[in-house]
Amino acid sequence: MASHLDAHQSIEEHAHALDGVQAVVAARLSSACERSLNSERLSPRTSSFHARFEVGVHEMLLGHFECALLYMNILRKGVLYISTAHLCFESPIFPPASTKLPLARVRSAERCRDPTFH
């Protein structure tokens, strides 16, 4: 019983520490986005990203990658967009496969040679 309480307390301490880290990251990210928005106009790709996926104006596009989404047991070629708050996939050939996923729902990510985004 005592070891369970210690483990529980440790989990709470870790959760509290993670909350603090998330707050610092959010503050720094917000500051960086604000400086970027104030210092220059948005790139055409970022403007297009905002229009296509209806994300907030302070959300910055970090990168984009060609990949494929396994949708209805068929690989759909498209582009994976990574922003400060979302993962977005767009398939120009098959628009129903396009999707937007909040980063808060992402539990893990790993680099692999498999061309699919599941």
Architecture of domain 42-118: Roll (2.30)
Higher pLDDT, 5 or 77: 77
Separation between Cα atoms, residue 80 and residue 36, nearest integer Å? 22
Q: Stretch 72-84: mean pLDDT, rounded?
A: 87
Residue 39 has pLDDT above 80, yes or no: no
Write the burial class of residue 86 (CB in 10 Å: 0-12 exposed, 13-18 middle, 19+ buried). buried
Handedness of CA 36, 40, 42, 44 (dihedral sign): negative
